Structure 1
Amino acid sequence: MSFNIRRTIGRSGIKASAVGLGCWAIGGPFLFDGKNDGWGDVDDAQSTRAIELALDLGGTLFDSADAYGTGHSETVLGQALAGRRAEAVIATKFGFTYDEKAKTLLAPDVSPAYIDWACAQSLRRLRTDYIDLYQIHVGDLDDDAADAAGEALERLAEQGRIRAWGWSTDDAAKAARMLKFPHFAAIQQELNVFSDGPDVLDLCACENLASLNRSPLAMGMLTGKFTQASRLAGSDVRAAGHAWVRHFKDGRPRPEFLARVEAIRDLLTTGGRTPAQGALGWILARSPHTLPIPGFKSEAQVRENLYAIELGPLPPAVMAEIETVLSPTEPA
């Protein structure tokens, strides 16, 4: 079986599988702000098999970052794609400096000199001479820094080291500043059933940009596999105490989100979908510009996530009912 439905990465014209693969988890352990920022231990051989399976099934979009495992995610991805580079669309990110040996992220840097250096390191680890989509990882930049980064990224495109570039940000107004740059093609935004992003989606629709969707399964909450008894290991980012982790607290799923999953479980599983496939179907239905990038560690996760392509977007009536169920109740 092969899932060959494609979506276009905005005005770049690059076509990729409608559901991609997020490569954060396969980077293994690393620290951010002194806290665990990985998803526990990894098995590189298993990660490689999962990537190879994705290609076999028609999954072509892989989203990594030099921050993930301080380069380890890119290294594993590059090794797995050896001999099959032409089949893949590689998206990766830059902007957080790091100590590769200490496995820790340091200060952000999006200066032109750093961008040039970081791109060279990513190309080396990925074993390729070009990156399809190179993305700013730092979500908030002042206007001068954003403009300087955009100019540097245009130079990389002119040199053939990247094909297109984007920005991982949820700020539509800041992203709109980048429209003046011809190779700006995508915004990576948080988007899932619990966290809509209409401003960014509207910008993507109006300006022919792609919306790559991080946290499409709400860090796993929308897989439906968690209960009140679930406890995650301390090596998992969801147990590390980061303020921006909203769906879990101290490694425990938040009860209010467990309740929301249960409230929409029957809707997500429409047409024989799993809850995860329904959550991805919600994103595919939300806009024709979306490309969700769920994370993975195993072949089973890759198979389940990519099958969402075959199942397709959720029907409009189901989308409307999910919105009704999750909408805040107006006071009487």
Structure 2
Amino acid sequence: MSAEMTRTLGRSGIEVSALGMGCWAIGGPFWAGDLALGYGKVDDAESIRAIQRALDLGVTLFDTAGVYGCGHSERILGQALGKRRADVLIATKVGDQFDEETRRITGGLDDPRSGVRRACEGSLRRLQTDYIDLYQLHFNDYDLERAVEVREEMEQLVAEGKIRYYGWSTDDPERASLFAHGPHCTAIQHTLNVFEDNPAILAVCEEHNLASINRGPLAMGVLTGKYTSREQIGREDIRLSEFSWNYLNSERLPGLLQRLDQVREVLTSDGRTLAQGALGWLWARSGHTIPIPGFKTVKQIEENAAAMQYGPLNQEQMRQIGELLGSASGEVAGRA
């Protein structure tokens, strides 16, 4: 399979690269109180080079959020795309309010209608674009009644040409189904990787013809084989937190490393790196999946994009991984 491997973005019918790029890490440091929520310091020039290299390698989907770096990720993405903006699909998200200067979260989405509209205008400004291709709600367990208002406001933004389609970043099938009934809903972003299967959400995506956009496809780097201890993580990095969904928290990491060793040989059996094998597992899991691994460097972009040359794992590889890890790949821990 060539680097032009593509998938359809749900019911929108838009063809995008089968691999997207997640832009959380390039947002740099930001905080909720004293809690670091970024992936540590970043080199903006390298981030821009990495995005432009991804474009050259056929990547046409970039996923970010207003809150990543409190606006910084969106600004860097907009700057890097420049005149090539029309060649890509930009996905961003609306969630927590924040202060761009202090890089601190200041509140949630209290008013579903005015909050969504205000956040959309901010994202358009930072991304230097007239429209957002995919606008996503960025709260895993947002109140259902308020979510209906969010969906209605997003439909209005579609009518005004500010966004083309929308979706929800959630691991809850009920919430995914609620949004799925909106005419211009075309994607659900959710947890999915070799360690954490998510059959209930995949079923919703397949039933409603929605794209399954996969966050955490490399388990915050654990599936690359790079991390063997928490001591390798830099300061001001969310992976030092003890959130239950953090793959590198002190309780989870040892067990995940053991499971990685169990499937290492299968994931790399046809010349792939571990990361490329993990991405191949996602493509084989469903025809709707589009993984969005994060990045900070050109090298990471090149390795992940090269996974498209291999394509999905084959049936035998999937069977072996299923047997080695058991039929259930672990509970999915919901998060925004």
Q: TM above 0.5, one fold?
A: yes
Displacement of 1:86 in angstroms is: 1.0
C-alpha distance in 2 between matches for 1:285 and 1:59? 19
Written as runs of structure 1 = structure 2, the 5 A alignment for 1:122-271 is 122-228=123-229, 230-239=231-240, 241-249=241-249, 254-271=253-270
Displacement of 1:248 in angstroms is: 1.3
Displacement of 1:230 in angstroms is: 4.5
Aligned amino acid, residue 145 of structure 2: D
Displacement of 1:229 in angstroms is: 7.7
Displacement of 1:12 in angstroms is: 1.1
Displacement of 1:144 in angstroms is: 1.3
Measured at CA, do residues 328 and 12 of structure 1 come closer, stay the same or move farther in structure 2, by a change above 3 Å? closer
Aligned amino acid, residue 65 of structure 2: A
Q: Does 1:290 align with 2:289?
A: yes
Displacement of 1:206 in angstroms is: 1.2
Q: Paired residue for 2:312?
A: 313
Measured at CA, do residues 209 and 229 of structure 1 come closer, stay the same or move farther in structure 2, by a change above 3 Å? closer
Question: Unmatched 5+ residue regions in structure 2?
Answer: 329-336
SS at match of 2:220: coil
Displacement of 1:291 in angstroms is: 0.3
Q: Paired residue for 1:102?
A: 102
TM-score (norm 1): 0.95
C-alpha distance in 2 between matches for 1:223 and 1:274? 8
Q: Does 1:74 align with 2:48?
A: no
Contact 2:136–2:168 (Cα < 8 Å) also in 1: yes
Displacement of 1:295 in angstroms is: 0.2
C-alpha distance in 2 between matches for 1:136 and 1:242? 24
C-alpha distance in 1 between matches for 2:281 and 2:226? 18
Contact 1:226–1:253 (Cα < 8 Å) also in 2: no
Contact 1:2–1:57 (Cα < 8 Å) also in 2: no
Aligned amino acid, residue 188 of structure 1: Q
C-alpha distance in 1 between matches for 2:311 and 2:5? 9
Measured at CA, do residues 119 and 242 of structure 1 come closer, stay the same or move farther in structure 2, by a change above 3 Å? farther
Provide the aligned length of Structure 1 versus Structure 2: 327
Contact 2:243–2:249 (Cα < 8 Å) also in 1: no
Contact 1:11–1:208 (Cα < 8 Å) also in 2: yes
C-alpha distance in 2 between matches for 1:42 and 1:243? 23
C-alpha distance in 2 between matches for 1:29 and 1:179? 33
Displacement of 1:228 in angstroms is: 4.3
Contact 1:20–1:293 (Cα < 8 Å) also in 2: yes
SS at match of 1:81: helix
Q: Does 1:7 align with 2:18?
A: no
Q: Does 1:52 align with 2:55?
A: no
C-alpha distance in 2 between matches for 1:317 and 1:106? 49
SS at match of 1:220: helix
Contact 1:62–1:91 (Cα < 8 Å) also in 2: yes
Aligned amino acid, residue 266 of structure 1: E
C-alpha distance in 1 between matches for 2:268 and 2:21? 21
Displacement of 1:219 in angstroms is: 0.5
C-alpha distance in 1 between matches for 2:41 and 2:325? 35
Which deviates the most, 189-198 or 171-180?
A: 171-180
Contact 2:24–2:38 (Cα < 8 Å) also in 1: yes
TM-score (norm 2): 0.94
Aligned amino acid, residue 278 of structure 1: G
**Root mean square deviation of aligned Cα:** 1.7
Contact 2:230–2:248 (Cα < 8 Å) also in 1: no
Q: Paired residue for 1:113?
A: 114
SS at match of 1:278: helix
Displacement of 1:68 in angstroms is: 0.3
Displacement of 1:253 in angstroms is: 7.4
Displacement of 1:13 in angstroms is: 1.4
Identical aligned residues as a percent: 50
Aligned amino acid, residue 324 of structure 2: V
Contact 1:238–1:245 (Cα < 8 Å) also in 2: no
Which deviates the most, 229-238 or 28-37?
A: 229-238
Question: Unmatched 5+ residue regions in structure 1?
Answer: none
SS at match of 2:48: helix
Contact 1:98–1:105 (Cα < 8 Å) also in 2: yes
C-alpha distance in 2 between matches for 1:126 and 1:22? 15
Measured at CA, do residues 229 and 184 of structure 1 come closer, stay the same or move farther in structure 2, by a change above 3 Å? closer
C-alpha distance in 2 between matches for 1:92 and 1:229? 30
C-alpha distance in 2 between matches for 1:242 and 1:249? 5
1:133-183 CA deviation, whole Å, 9 max, x = no partner? 000001112221011000000000011111100000000112111222100
Aligned amino acid, residue 55 of structure 2: L
Contact 2:2–2:308 (Cα < 8 Å) also in 1: no
1:274-327 CA deviation, whole Å, 9 max, x = no partner? 000000000000000000000000011001111111110011111111111111
